[in-house]
Amino acid sequence: MQKKAVVGIDIGGTNTVFGIVDQQGNYFAEGKIKTRDYTNFVDFVDELSFQVKESIQKFDSYISVIGIGVGVPNGNYYNGTVEFAPNLPWKGVIKVTKEIKARIGLPVIITNDANAAALGEMIYGAAKKMKDFIVITLGTGLGSGIVVNGKMVYGHDGFAGEIGHTIIFPDGRPCGCGRNGCLETYCSARGLTETYLQILGKPSANIDVSSIDSKFTFDHAQQGEQAAIEAFNKTGDILGLALANTVAHTSPEAIFLFGGLANAGDLIFIPTRKSFEKNLLNIYKGKVKILPSGLKEGNSAILGAASLIWNEHL
């Protein structure tokens, strides 16, 4: 009997990667195309579908592919679309699932990258036995995927889980969304960098301001530089408060931090947990874990996208 497998596709602003994986996370094939090279979506989906089909055919005798999961910024589960994604080359509303299905002939499910990360955590990662948890992706921005009672929360319109755009300080930093004080303006790679720059005030002459990014801040904090450590502490303070407020909505068993900023380890986890416990309502105190993701960053996006299909079949 052929082994069941699914295709996971992760569409990012720079690259699109895909893989064929089984339920244990074994890879049969992988591929990659440059998203930015395709200003026309039809050219993009032609090339992507061609490569995916070719990969599937190679393993035809061993595996039976049951569906294709797609993780993409601003992906909408209900509509099968990508809608007004600021970092992708295609404008407006793009019918992603319809176009891929027309070319490959398999069921296609789409959602945004943070929801895919949450499903990946549930199928392949550290949330395997959990029914209520949240994944926070700390990249350039802050994404989130909320799972309640074993099911992804999509909301009435497919756009649930935008915790990065909860307003923390009404008169705070300007956000890319056009408002002020969104969580992601403080708790993200970009937010950390800005906090570090603020603490430095006028950076000393031997620091090139344009070189300051989250890796730079991380390196300086690791070397024990007080200003950089303080930047992590402030970021964790705010994140802990925001996550305490999130718990008062869906009361999860755990919140997973994922992505570049989460890889800073204790530097971000310790101040976040401290602020989180301090700000939790009594009935939740000591009950909700803040944990690192159980997925390796390298292939997590493909596994997350693949989980969209497993989640509907399990």
List interacting residues with its own copies (CB under 8 A). Answer: 83-84, 130-132, 146, 148-149, 151, 153-163, 165-167, 170, 177-179, 241, 244-246, 248-253, 279, 281-284, 287
3-state secondary structure (DSSP) of residue 295: coil
Closest separation between CB of residue 157 and its own copies, Å? 6
3-state secondary structure (DSSP) of residue 187: coil
Q: Which is nearer to its own copies, 18 or 90 (CB)?
A: 90
Q: Which is nearer to its own copies, 153 or 207 (CB)?
A: 153
Q: Which is nearer to its own copies, 42 or 248 (CB)?
A: 248
Q: Which secondary structure element, helix H or strand E, spans residue 257, and what is its range?
A: strand 254-258
Beta strands in 127-171, from DSSP E residues, in sequence order: 133-138, 142-148, 151-152
Q: Which is nearer to its own copies, 209 or 283 (CB)?
A: 283
Closest separation between CB of residue 132 and its own copies, Å? 4
d(CA 143, CA 96): 21
3-state secondary structure (DSSP) of residue 120: helix
Q: Which secondary structure element, helix H or strand E, spans residue 98, and what is its range?
A: helix 96-104
Closest separation between CB of residue 124 and its own copies, Å? 21
- Do residues 276 and 243 lie in contact, with contact meaning Cβ atoms separated by under 8 Å? yes
d(CA 97, CA 156): 19
Q: Which is nearer to its own copies, 162 or 225 (CB)?
A: 162
Q: Which is nearer to its own copies, 172 or 203 (CB)?
A: 172
Closest separation between CB of residue 214 and its own copies, Å? 23
- Structure-token pair, residue 160: 């649930």
Closest separation between CB of residue 79 and its own copies, Å? 12
| CA 185 vs CA 101, 155, 164: distances in Å | 37, 24, 8
Closest separation between CB of residue 165 and its own copies, Å? 5
